[in-house]
Amino acid sequence: MHRKRLSSRLDHIQGSGVRRMFDLIRTMKDPINLSIGQAHYEAPAEAIEAATAAMRHGENRYTTTQGIPELIQRVSDRLEGRYGFRPPSVFMTSGVSGGLLLAHLSLFDSGDEILLPDPYFVMYTNMLELVGAKAAFYETYPSDDPKDGRPAWHPDLAEIEARITNKTRAILINSPSNPTGGMLDRNELQGLAALARKHDLWILSDEIYSHFHYGRSFESMITRMPDHEKTIVFGGFSKTYGMPGWRLGFVAGPEDALEAMKTVQQYTFVCAPAPLQYGALAAMSVDVSRYRDEYEQKRDLVYEQLHDLYPMVPSEGSFYAFPAYPDGVSEEVFLERCLERRLLIVPGSAFSRRATHFRLSFAASDAMLREGLRVLREIATE
């Protein structure tokens, strides 16, 4: 039999390790699931009501490419209120994923190099592969050198600069980070913007976890747009409002690049889901700050329960922790021990060139999280 010929674009694409976990979960009875990348709470009732009302009232057609004006206005106002700068252009996308794809298709050519953090969100490397561009990495793992003051899950700007070549087109940042829980501070954003300006690079800033910050407030790359125009910020509704299946996000950035991205949207997604944009508008009036507070308690619990057995730092944002495997335990053995106990986490090698850490999601009920932490303590002391 002849194998069907597929595009060579897929030659180096593998199914996501996170998806494989999802498949495994389906076969497992009562898993302790700390592998999930979405909030454990439901979308606000007001948002569901507004979306269904919109459907009933005939909002079932395409919207304009950029989305409904009320929502764009609302998002722009919110960004300006929160960060003190109104992005020159904003439009609605099919999730942050959709926005990222539009940016990749609009900005990058084959052979271009894009600097990504290691560890990174799995979509980044595969999306670059799909457009024929190349991932180059900057380090954020804890430094082995105690004299090096760089905190775990933060970049070293000098190292990033050393990795810039004449093919480099962009620096991608993801703060708060999936999978590490690291969150960049104002100085780091300032330094990154200065570096990007000096080398004429794009900054792509994935801020989907901006709602989930602990101990200090979140800093957006939007604050740096006045001094570095080539900045595109990606924001979402999936995580903040517990609606990942709605496929809604937005991009903010300079007019010319966003116009190009809108043109690509015309020929791909067409628009973000119409009735759900009305739902998202309603969601923006709901106070979801209590979830952030709850997640802060969960992240404290994770650190309290694990740090004596697993090398780690407290998460600064997102809803993930990224502890190291106990000394001498390989990823394979560790995963086996987890699966024997029905515990699901995501192995770090799904997000990295290394296989030394794992991603634990604390977007879970307290009962499930406590049970998972108990099992992790058991595994480390086995």
Binding site for ligand PMP (CB under 6 A): 37, 95-97, 121, 174, 178, 206, 208, 236, 238, 244, 249
Distance of CA 318 to CAs 111, 184, 218, 361, Å? 32, 12, 11, 9
Dihedral (CA of 89, 70, 177, 123) sign: negative
Q: Token digits for 18?
A: 């996170």
Q: At closest approach, how far in Å is the CB of 240 from ligand PMP? A: 10
Q: Smallest distance, Å, CB 230 to ligand PMP?
A: 20
Which tokens hold the place of 232? Answer: 């595109």
Q: How near is the Cβ of 248 to ligand PMP at its closest, in Å?
A: 7
118 or 375: whose CB is closer to ligand PMP? Answer: 118
Residue closer to ligand PMP, measured from CB, 95 or 347: 95
Give the pairing type, strands 249-253 and 231-236.
antiparallel
Compute the half-sphere exposure of residue 52: CA atoms within 13 Å on the CB side of its CA. Answer: 7
Rounded to a whole number of angstroms, the minimum distance from the CB of residue 199 to ligand PMP is: 24
Q: How far is the CB of 144 from ligand PMP (least distance, A)?
A: 26
What's the closest the beta carbon of residue 124 comes to ligand PMP, in angstroms? Answer: 8
Counting Cβ atoms within 10 Å, is residue 126 exposed (0-12), middle (13-18) or buried (19+)? middle
Smallest distance, ligand PMP to C-beta of residue 254, A: 21
**366-380 and 289-306 helices cross at what angle (nearest 10)?**
20
- Rg for the chain (alpha carbons), in Å? 21
Q: Which residues are CB-contacts of 91 (< 8 A; sequence separation ≥ 6)?
A: 65, 66, 67, 72, 250, 251, 258, 261, 262, 265
CA distance 164 to 168: 6
Contact 363, 36 (CB under 8 A): yes
DSSP letters for 336-379 = HHHHHTTEE-EEGGGGSS--SBEEEE--S-HHHHHHHHHHHHHH
**In the bound complex, what is the minimum distance in angstroms from residue 214's beta carbon to ligand PMP?**
17
Q: Compare residues 173 and 373 and give the one whose CB is closer to ligand PMP.
A: 173
CB of 112 to ligand PMP, least distance (A): 20
Report the residue closest to ligand PMP, judged by CB. Answer: 95
Nearer CB in complex with ligand PMP: 233/379: 233
Q: Output 22 or 194, the one with its CB closest to ligand PMP.
A: 22
Question: Which is nearer to ligand PMP, 207 or 375 (by Cβ)?
Answer: 207
Give whichever of 95 and 275 is closer to ligand PMP, judged by the CB atom: 95
Shorter beta-carbon distance to ligand PMP: residue 249 or 275: 249
Nearer to ligand PMP, 239 or 337 (CB): 239
- CA–CA separation, 246 vs 42, rounded Å? 12
Name residues whose C-beta falls within 8 Å of residue 227's C-beta, 6 or more positions apart in sequence: 193, 194, 197
